[in-house]
């Protein structure tokens, strides 16, 4: 049995049945990483020694009352979650040698559940990018086609998951950074409701938009991971103090009578024909399961890109001000004075895309421009959220179904000279973050080049259970999520 082909749920069953040990499972993944990562560049830092120690502890724990469905499960962690005494770089030269003195709440919860951390995955620098090409540690490659991007910013986690380098992975989603790479690599990616999962110990990009979530092979696996990740955290002022339902138990819901919204604005000229055909086929699957598809309108959609690219850079410029060469992180050599220290440290430590967004954010927050740009963007953000609320209420919708990305994985370097074209990669995902809603991307087919296509389900606030159940029903009726990169699985 090749243990690395198992889903997370299957691996948990095999561990509990003693068909395989946690140490054997972890070793299999570490060997696969050693073989494939030099070409894929999915991992920045491996933690093999401590991973094997954690696996040994999991073997002792398995069969005891304290074991959970994640006990002994090897995971990959996006490299912006602080992990105590394990290098956390955020894909940047600024933090290339940073060893956090504390653990993020999410990784602490997963470790407490018995999960095994294999290492930290590559990402766009400070999560700013849609192709995983802005990383200081080089681009990640899509396992379906090595000359193409896996999407971003959670491209390392997406590639690790798609290539079978882990049983589950963590990503973060600020404007689509879990869902867009999930679509481009043929995996499942869930962005929970803002505040459902603690942000404590997550290195911030845009604080009002960032949210952690699971990246997995199946919806069932995503439900198992989210179960341990979700919940109130007093260390996080944005954490929502609401009960966490049993996500796995909710997967068996009948879809008969479920009303699914299809917004016209998401199916316009920007959507490729192959993606449109695959998503329309997914709608037919839902009709066969008893769901009803309802055309709806979300007219504020057209304002998503400009709104996001005012709010996100503004918050980034504030969050990244702390990287000044004094307290932690990169520091330039032999500064002449304080101004030289600041200027050269930040010039050397940040890449071009991060600098671009800091400058844009600083501009829209500056005196004389705050009201015209940042305040106006926040007002439009409220209208976008009301757009979704009205659609769910007036049409009595359970979920909304849209494309995840306008196209399949594009070639590395193809859009580097055109930032606006790169930003449009997230056109179907950004609104979900602006409105604080949960969203999940599922694989639903392939284009003529053999590249994965994904679609997105959007839910009501805190209703991850419904989008998980809706996605799980689709995966029970289809086989797309079982596909592996040919010759590389």
DSSP string, 22-84: HHHHHHHHHHHHHHHHHHH--EEEE-HHHHHHHHHHHHHHTTSTT--TTTT-EEEEETTB-BT
Helix ranges (H only) for 350-463 are: 352-365, 376-395, 419-423, 430-435
Residue 164 neighbours by CB under 8 Å, 6+ apart? 4, 5, 32, 484, 489
Of 219, 190, 186, 213, the C-alpha closest to 81 is 213
Return the pLDDT at 488: 45
pLDDT, averaged per 10 consecutive residues of the chain (489 residues), comes to 92 96 98 98 98 97 92 98 98 96 98 98 97 97 98 97 98 98 98 98 97 98 98 97 96 96 94 96 98 97 95 96 91 95 96 96 92 94 97 98 96 90 90 98 97 98 98 98 77
Report the domain count for the chain.
1
* Residue 399 resides in a domain: no
* Residue 108 resides in a domain: yes
Please state whether 487 falls in left (phi above 0), alpha (psi between -120 and 50) or beta. Answer: left
State the residue range of the domain holding 99.
3-255
Return the pLDDT at 489: 41
pLDDT (tens digit per residue) in 371-386: 899 999 999 999 999 9
* Residue 292 resides in a domain: no
Return the pLDDT at 283: 98
* Residue 416 resides in a domain: no
From CA 223, how far away is CA 228, in angstroms rounded?
Answer: 9
What are the structure tokens assigned to 381, written together? 């953000």
pLDDT (tens digit per residue) in 130-151: 999 999 999 999 999 999 999 9
pLDDT (tens digit per residue) in 287-315: 999 999 999 999 999 999 999 999 999 99
Residue 463 neighbours by CB under 8 Å, 6+ apart? 193, 438
What are the structure tokens assigned to 410, written together? 């594009």
Q: What CATH number is given to the structural domain containing 37? A: 3.90.1300.10
Q: How far, in Å, are 57, 107, 248 from residue 112 at the CA level?
A: 11, 8, 19
Task: Provide the strand spans (E) within 264-357.
Answer: 292-296
pTM: 0.96
* Residue 243 resides in a domain: yes
DSSP string, 221-253: HHHHHHHHHBS--TT-TT----PPP-TTGGGG-
Are 126 and 92 a contacting pair, CB within 8 Å?
yes
Return the pLDDT at 424: 85
What are the structure tokens assigned to 146, written together? 């090595």
* Residues recognised as catalytic: 78, 153, 177
* Residue 445 resides in a domain: no
* Residue 242 resides in a domain: yes
Give all strands of the β-sheet with 259-263 in edge-to-edge order.
43-46, 116-121, 74-78, 168-172, 212-216, 188-191, 439-446, 452-458, 399-403, 259-263, 292-296
DSSP string, 434-489: HHT--EEEEEEEE-TTS-EEEEEEE--TT-HHHHHHHHHHHHHH--GGG---TTT-
* Residue 386 resides in a domain: no
């Amino acid at each position: 049995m090749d243990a690395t082909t198992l889903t997370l749920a299957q691996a948990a069953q095999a561990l509990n049945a003693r068909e395989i040990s946690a140490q054997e499972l972890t070793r299999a993944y570490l060997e696969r990483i050693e073989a494939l990562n030099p070409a894929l560049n999915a991992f920045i830092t491996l933690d093999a020694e401590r991973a094997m120690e954690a696996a040994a502890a999991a073997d002792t724990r398995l069969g005891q009352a304290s074991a959970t469905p994640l006990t002994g499960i090897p995971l990959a962690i996006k490299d912006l979650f602080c992990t105590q005494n394990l290098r956390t770089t955020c894909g940047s030269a600024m933090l290339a040698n940073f060893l956090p003195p504390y653990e993020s709440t999410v990784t602490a919860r997963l470790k407490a559940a018995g999960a095994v951390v294999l290492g930290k995955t590559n990402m766009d620098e400070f999560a700013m990018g849609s192709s995983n090409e802005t990383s200081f540690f080089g681009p990640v490659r899509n396992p379906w086609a090595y000359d193409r991007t896996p999407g971003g910013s959670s491209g390392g986690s997406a590639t690790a998951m798609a290539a079978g380098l882990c049983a589950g992975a963590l990503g973060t989603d600020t404007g689509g950074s879990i869902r867009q790479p999930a679509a481009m690599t043929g995996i499942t990616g869930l962005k929970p409701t803002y505040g459902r999962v603690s942000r404590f110990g997550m290195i911030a990009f845009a604080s009002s938009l960032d949210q952690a979530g699971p990246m997995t092979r199946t919806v069932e696996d995503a439900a198992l991971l989210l179960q341990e990740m979700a919940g109130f955290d007093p260390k996080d002022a944005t954490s929502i103090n609401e009960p966490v339902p049993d996500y796995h138990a909710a997967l068996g819901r009948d879809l008969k009578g479920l009303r699914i919204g299809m917004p016209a604005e998401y199916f316009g000229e920007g959507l490729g024909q192959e993606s449109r055909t695959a998503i329309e086929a997914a709608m037919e699957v839902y009709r066969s399961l008893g769901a009803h598809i309802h055309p709806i309108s979300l007219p504020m959609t057209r304002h998503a890109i400009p709104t996001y690219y005012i709010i996100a850079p503004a918050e980034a410029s504030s969050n990244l001000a702390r990287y000044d060469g004094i307290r932690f992180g990169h520091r330039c050599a032999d500064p002449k004075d304080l101004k030289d220290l600041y200027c050269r440290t930040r010039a050397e430590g940040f890449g071009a895309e991060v600098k671009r967004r800091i400058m844009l954010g600083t501009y829209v927050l500056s005196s004389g421009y705050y009201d015209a740009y940042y305040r106006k963007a926040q007002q439009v953000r409220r209208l976008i959220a009301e757009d979704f609320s009205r659609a769910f209420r007036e049409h009595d919708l359970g979920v909304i179904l849209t494309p995840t990305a306008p196209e399949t994985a594009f070639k590395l370097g193809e859009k580097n000279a055109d930032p606006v074209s790169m930003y449009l990669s997230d056109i179907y995902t950004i609104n979900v973050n602006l409105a604080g809603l949960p969203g999940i991307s599922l694989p639903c087919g392939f284009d003529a080049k053999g590249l994965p296509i994904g679609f997105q389900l959007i839910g009501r606030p805190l209703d991850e259970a419904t989008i998980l159940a809706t996605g799980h029903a689709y995966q029970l009726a289809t086989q797309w999520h079982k596909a592996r990169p040919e010759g590389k699985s």
